[in-house]
Amino acid sequence: MQIPLPLTFSALADPTRLAIVARLTTGEATVNELAAPFRMSQPAVSRHIRVLEDAGIILRRVDGTRRPCRLAPEALAPAEAWLGQMRRALEANYARLDTLLDELDDTQGKDTP
């Protein structure tokens, strides 16, 4: 099941959740480990983790009494593909604009004595 892009971007829009994802790039972590750098309660961090989990960005596994979190493999691939598509479209637009500006410069350069 592919998670819709708006849900992915919404989950990543919060600075706390973005920091949690950044931390998980270094490896698995428990909720308490993820909560340590923040000035908020563990339940508040758990709610952020739940949003990331619902968006398919992170996974949790049971390890005895612990529930370590990790990044979901390829979770951000659809967002990365969409951003790449937008980047290519913008580059094409800028290339057309550059061409137009060059043509205008050439045309005005010929009119100048």
CA nearest to 10, candidates 52, 44, 59, 73: 52
pTM: 0.77
Bigger pLDDT: 112 or 93? 93
Instruction: For residues 14 and 66, give the distance between their C-alpha atoms in angstroms, rounded to a whole number.
Output: 25
User: What would the two tokens of residue 85 be?
Assistant: 């598509």
Cα–Cα distance, 90 to 9 (Å, whole number): 20
Taking the domains of the chain in order of start, what are their residue ranges? 1-72, 76-113
Q: Which of 44, 69, 36 is nearest to 55 (CA)?
A: 69
Q: Of 66, 40, 54, give the one whose Cα is nearest residue 11.
A: 54
Q: What is the pLDDT of residues 24-50, one digit of tens each?
A: 999 999 999 999 999 999 999 999 999
How much is the pLDDT for 108? 83
Does CATH number 1.10.10.10 belong to domain 1-72? Answer: yes
Q: How far apart are CA 88 and CA 81, in angstroms?
A: 11
Tell me: the pLDDT tens digits for 84-103? Answer: 999 999 999 999 999 999 88
